Amino acid sequence: MGKYFSFFEQISLYSNILYTLISSIRFRTRVKLTLVKEVNILTKSDYMAEKILKEVNILKSKKILHPDDSVENVLLNHGETKEWADVFWRRRYQHENRSDPEIDLVFETSPTSVLEIGTGYGRILKKLDKERQRKKLSTKLFGIERCKHMESYFLLFKKQQPSLSDVEIYYENFFRSKQFRKRKFDVIVLPMNTFPSFHSKLDLLFRTVKNYLSEDGLFIFTSYKIPQNRTKEERRKGKYSGELLVEEEKKPILLEAFRFTETEGPYGIETVTYLIYYRFFEYYSIHKKYIYRLEHFVPQKNQIEKIITENGYKVKFFNDESHSLVFGCQTI
Ligand SMILES: C[S@@+](CC[C@H](N)C(=O)[O-])C[C@H]1O[C@@H](n2cnc3c(N)ncnc32)[C@H](O)[C@@H]1O
């Protein structure tokens, strides 16, 4: 007879499995890996390749990467991949308790249209839909998401809330959108601290948003607050974490993450993270391994204000009472 595990038993079971897996992978003596050498969407310049080589060597010395791993195996297109969509979807239960302070601000001006940039599997759109119903507004909701693999997850999500059926999501890159050419939105929202991930394209972000904002339209975004309790020493140390993502009737994914030392740049804290995904066959034998490199940037209030004014916008409101810095701005 099958045994039923309670929620806490499952957590404990999974953490034991995770521990065993990470230990066996770290000291890989017997594990045969299939390394993924996909063609990168971004080509690596010589300078970048040299930087990555140094990082890869550090990760090898820490036994986070295998001696056979090479710069060639490091992928730079994380945001568009199936790995990203699968992991974000598998984290949906963790997201359930998240508060999203930007939601309250979206409907303050009773907008007729709202566009969310980077919809993921539709978590925020679901909240916006509930809010427009609560306020008895007929606001039309739109979304744009560059990761096409999110679409099937949005469809699953929509089944739980059929009123999402009039929401239009376009699966393409916001900067290269063909769908929105002549459209204008009263509110454009970029939630869940996604703003800093556009670190190298902030000018383009503000320029593109301007093209799609109606007159007096509002651009709302949130950005990370630097935890006050982290010492300089802690920020200098690299940070390792591991996570086992289990989904009913699907193959498990093990995610290892290593964040390199944070440095102080002109627009805030800068850092590089490596995400290593192991996809398993059933019974936890490794099927494929993917290594992704991500650059991060965490600007703070005065730095964001500077970016806003440099790009021809003014701050309409600001709030830092929640876990995030919340900005609402308008073009000048
Ligand atoms: C942190 S997730 C947030 C998802 C969702 N807004 C939420 O709060 O649950 C950020 C999303 O933005 C998407 N994204 C990043 N850059 C994008 C771009 N240039 N165009 C469209 N979507 C983008 C990513 O693929 C990712 O799904």
Assign 29 a pLDDT band (cuts: 50, 70, 90). Answer: very low
Mean pLDDT is lowest, of 190-194, 250-254, 305-309, for 250-254
> Which ligand 1 atom minimizes the distance to the CA of 150?
27
Judged on CB neighbours under 10 Å (0-12, 13-18, 19+), 278 is: buried
Ligand 1 centroid from CA 193, angstroms: 10
Q: What is the pLDDT of residues 144-163, one digit of tens each?
A: 999 999 999 999 999 989 99
What's the CA angle centered on 306, arms 304 and 308, to 5 degrees?
Answer: 70
| Ligand 1 binding residues, C-beta < 6 A | 79, 117-120, 123-124, 144-147, 173-175, 191-192, 194
142 in Cβ contact with 103 (< 8 Å): no
Ligand 1 centroid from CA 296, angstroms: 15
Which domains does the chain possess? Answer: 31-76+228-298 (no CATH), 92-225+300-331 (3.40.50.150)
Question: Which of 100, 147, 150, 205 best tests ligand 1's pocket when mutated (most atoms within 8 Å of CB)?
Answer: 147
Judged on CB neighbours under 10 Å (0-12, 13-18, 19+), 265 is: middle
Beta bridge partners of 32: none
> Which ligand 1 atom minimizes the distance to the CA of 175?
19
> Which ligand 1 atom minimizes the distance to the CA of 192?
8
pLDDT, residue 257, reads: 95
Average pLDDT of span 287-303:
90
Q: Is the pLDDT of residue 37 over 60?
A: no
Assign 179 a pLDDT band (cuts: 50, 70, 90). Answer: confident
pLDDT mean across residues, the chain = 86
307 in Cβ contact with 267 (< 8 Å): yes
Q: What is the pLDDT of residues 191-242, one digit of tens each?
A: 999 999 888 889 999 999 999 999 999 999 999 887 655 677 776 778 899 9
Nearest residue by C-alpha to atom 12 in ligand 1: 118
139 in Cβ contact with 112 (< 8 Å): yes
Percent of the chain with pLDDT over 70: 83
Give the whole-angstrom CA distance, residue 320 versus residue 123. 22
Percent of the chain with pLDDT over 90: 62
Q: What is the pLDDT of residues 93-148, one digit of tens each?
A: 999 999 999 998 999 999 999 999 999 999 999 999 999 999 999 999 999 999 99
Tokens of 26: 């770290």
Q: Rounded to the nearest 5°, which phi and psi values hold at 109?
A: -100, 15
Check residue 1 and report its DSSP letter: -
Residue closest to 307 by CA, chosen among 189, 190, 206: 206
pLDDT, residue 41, reads: 38
Assign 267 a pLDDT band (cuts: 50, 70, 90). Answer: confident
Ligand 1 centroid from CA 66, angstroms: 31
Q: For residue 130, count other CB atoms closer than 10 A to its CB.
A: 14
pLDDT, residue 223, reads: 94
Highest mean pLDDT among 33-47, 71-85, 284-298: 71-85
Ligand 1 centroid from CA 128, angstroms: 16
